[in-house]
Amino acid sequence: MTTIKLGDIARDTITGFEGVAIARSTALNNCPRWTLQPQEVKDGVATESRSFDEPNVEFVRGTDIPTIACVRPEEPAELGDTVRDLVTGLEGVVMSITIFQAGCTRIAVQPRALKDGLPVSASYCDECHLAVIKRASPKPAPVNTGGPRMEPRR
């Protein structure tokens, strides 16, 4: 029996659902669960990940996908850059960047694809799994939203 590691390809033995092991959760009831992220993009959207009870998950094969600590890269993706998710292969434009209190960063990636003539929804990816394909040129200009203003004269 091969032990599953983060980044390995694994499969749920009940449904056949297969993907990269991107997370392992331990719960109070002592039944660990693996979250599997398929490595496919369909109609411009990354297939959603799903979680399964560990006793039903089997090792398929290892990968070269790195397990990276939750730190910002030296040259992080910026708004307007074109990026590729190293796990799913999803490509698109960086639309928003959210930095969480714990230091993890999630980036909204908007694919350029259309489905039935409409834009597909943006996918949220871990910053450490994104590779910059092309830097935005020129950078989007900051927009003055009118925020803090001086007190009006009386």
Mean of pLDDT values over 63-88: 84
Q: What is the mean pLDDT of residues 87-107?
A: 85
Please give the pLDDT value at position 68: 67
pLDDT at 101 over 60: yes
Rounded (10°) CA dihedral 122, 123, 124, 130: -110
Residues 54 and 91 in one domain: no
pLDDT score at 16: 97
Which range is least confidently modeled, 51-55, 113-117, 143-147? Answer: 143-147
Mean pLDDT of 41-57: 89
Identify whether 145 is part of a domain: no
- Shared domain for 87 and 57, answered yes or no, is no
- What pTM did the predictor assign? 0.65
Same domain, 56 and 23: yes
Q: What does DSSP say about strands 41-42 and 33-37: parallel, antiparallel, or unpaired?
A: unpaired
Would residue 20 count as lying in a domain? yes
What's the chain's average pLDDT?
Answer: 85
Report yes or no on 117 lying in a domain. Answer: yes
141 belongs to a structural domain: no
Above pLDDT 90, what percent of the chain?
Answer: 40
39 domain residue, yes or no? yes
In this model, does residue 87 exceed pLDDT 90?
Answer: no
Residue 3 inside a domain? The answer is no
Instruction: Name the band, by pLDDT with cuts 50, 70 and 90, for residue 139.
Output: low
* Residues 117 and 101: beta-carbon distance below 8 Å: no
Task: Say yes or no to pLDDT of 17 above 70.
Answer: yes
The pLDDT, as a whole number, for residue 95 is 93
Residues 115 and 86 in one domain: yes
Q: Is residue 127 part of a domain?
A: yes
Tokens 């980044």 -> residue? 7
Assigned domain for 151 exists? no
Residue 151 has pLDDT above 70, yes or no: no
Tell me how many domains the chain contains: 2
Residues 45 and 89 occupy one common structural domain: no
For residue 20, the enclosing domain spans 9-61
Same domain, 49 and 89: no
* Distances, alpha carbon 43 to alpha carbons 10, 57, 61, 151, in Å: 24, 27, 26, 51
- The pLDDT assigned to 1 comes to 52
